[in-house]
């Protein structure tokens, strides 16, 4: 365990470096809007900086962090409550597209990606967040429950229902998903 | 367990959230039940399809923006703190020299001993970082002192001692700019 000098500004930069990717992608997948995701992610770290004095390490740091992301994301949803339509964000292209990939496969892959974004976006908010935290952040049901402030059973049920809904939405891609 | 019960647990089975005994029971059932196996394959495929939505790198400007929105007021308070620390130091050292006369080298030694130890930050835990952030905000005076000590040309240069190099007028400017 390393020690940092009292009040070292590098510590905060380290915190950003370690978590900005996860924070940004969580907000991006949940909100499906790169501008809003960027705003949320920035806000998360600024709030952490300001609230550091009130942080007590009884919960896992990431649980605390993701709870802040969750709260700010729901704030965004609240403020755009009128506009319900979720559009596919074409700006957020996947990083490192596979170069030597069969062009036909690549098209299918991009189609699948759009389909996935659409399907996840159609999930109810709480179900969507549970799916994102569980699937993309590799969190256990227990951790997801901690972040979302509900029981493990509620998470189990949400993820279960989400899988069923996603299976229906994505069923036409049956047999093509093994490549991903 | 009947098929309904099994299918209700397939999601948790996929996520490896079941107790080992329960997991084993489902595995054994899937070996012999085509209906549940088909359902399992469908759920698993959909879940795996989500991998097609890959992570993206956050925009580079994000980090810069965060640091910028946290620092401006900081730099200002630190600047003010640094000024008062500098003034205090001048006063203290002035008095010290007045009372104890010239003791060459001793003040240089003091300055050396106050140089903060740089520590690697690579394996610092989140808890340590968080514990440090309030210090960053509240201990501006102390940090400003650290900043001054880190700069080689302290107002110490005003000291008439032989062991210390030529006084440099620019010394305070380093802090001010
Ligand atoms: Zn069965």
Q: How far is the CA of B43 from the centre of ligand 1 (A)?
A: 14
Does A76 share its domain with A6?
Answer: yes
**What pLDDT digit, counting tens, does each position of A3-61 carry?**
444 555 678 889 999 999 999 999 999 999 999 999 999 999 999 988 887 887 777 88
Please tell me whether residues A70 and A7 are part of one structural domain: yes
Q: The domain containing residue B62 runs over which residues?
A: 1-76
Is-contact A21 B57, C-beta < 8 A?
yes
- pTM, full prediction: 0.68
- A117 lies in the same domain as A72: no
Of B17, B128, B146, the CB nearest to A141: B17
Distance CA(B58)–CA(B50), nearest Å, equals 20
In a domain, B83, yes or no: no
Identify whether B5 is part of a domain. Answer: yes
B69 and B122 fall within a common domain: no
ipTM for the predicted complex comes to: 0.80
Report whether B159 contacts B107 (CB < 8 A).
yes
Which among B8, B49, B121 is the nearest to A2, CB-wise? B121
Instruction: Say how many domains are in chain B.
Output: 2
**Domain CATH number, residue B52:** 1.10.10
Distance from CA of B173 to the nearest CA of A (A): 22
Q: Which of B28, B30, B25 is nearest to B41 (CA)?
A: B30
Q: Which residues contact B53 (CB under 8 A, 6 or more apart)?
A: A29, A94, A113, A116, A117, A120, A136
Non-local CB neighbours of B13 within 8 Å, separated by 6+ positions: B23, B26, B40
- Cα of A46 to nearest chain B Cα, Å: 6
- Tell whether A63 and A19 lie within a shared domain: yes
Tens digits of residue pLDDT in A90-133: 445 445 545 566 777 776 888 999 999 999 999 999 999 999 99
Residue B15 belongs to some domain of the structure: yes
Is B56 part of any domain?
yes
Q: Which domain holds residue A107?
A: 103-173
Q: Is B116 helix (H, G, I), strand (E, B) or coil?
A: coil
């Amino acid at each position: 365990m390393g020690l940092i000098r009292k009040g070292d500004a590098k510590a905060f930069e380290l915190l950003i470096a370690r978590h900005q990717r996860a924070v940004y992608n969580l907000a991006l997948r949940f909100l499906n809007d790169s501008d809003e995701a960027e705003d949320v992610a920035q806000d998360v770290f600024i709030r952490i900086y300001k609230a550091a004095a009130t942080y007590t390490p009884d919960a896992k740091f990431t649980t605390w962090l993701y709870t802040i992301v969750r709260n700010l994301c729901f704030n965004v949803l609240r403020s755009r409550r009128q506009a319900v339509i979720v559009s596919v964000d074409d700006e957020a292209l996947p990083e490192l597209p596979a170069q030597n990939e069969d062009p036909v496969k690549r098209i299918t892959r991009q189609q699948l990606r759009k389909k996935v974004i659409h399907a996840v976006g159609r999930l109810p908010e709480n179900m969507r967040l549970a799916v994102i935290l569980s699937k993309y952040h590799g969190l256990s049901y227990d951790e997801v429950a901690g972040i979302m402030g509900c029981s493990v059973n509620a998470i189990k049920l949400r993820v279960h229902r989400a899988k069923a809904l996603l299976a229906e939405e994505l069923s036409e891609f049956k047999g093509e998903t093994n490549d991903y | 367990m009947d098929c309904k019960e099994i299918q209700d647990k397939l999601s948790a089975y996929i996520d490896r959230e079941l107790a080992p005994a329960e997991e084993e029971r489902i595995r054994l059932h899937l070996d012999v039940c085509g209906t549940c196996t088909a359902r399992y394959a469908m759920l698993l495929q959909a879940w795996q399809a989500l991998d097609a939505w890959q992570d993206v790198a956050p925009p580079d400007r994000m980090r810069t923006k965060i640091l910028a929105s946290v620092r401006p007021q900081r730099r200002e308070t630190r600047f003010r703190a640094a000024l008062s620390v500098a003034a205090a130091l001048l006063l203290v050292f002035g008095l010290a020299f007045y009372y104890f006369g010239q003791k060459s080298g001793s003040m240089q030694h003091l300055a050396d001993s106050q140089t903060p130890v740089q520590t690697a930050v690579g394996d610092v835990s989140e808890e340590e970082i968080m514990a440090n952030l309030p210090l960053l905000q509240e201990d501006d005076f102390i940090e400003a002192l650290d900043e001054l000590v880190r700069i080689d040309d302290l107002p110490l240069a005003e000291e008439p001692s032989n062991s210390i190099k030529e006084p440099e007028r620019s010394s305070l400017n380093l802090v001010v700019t």
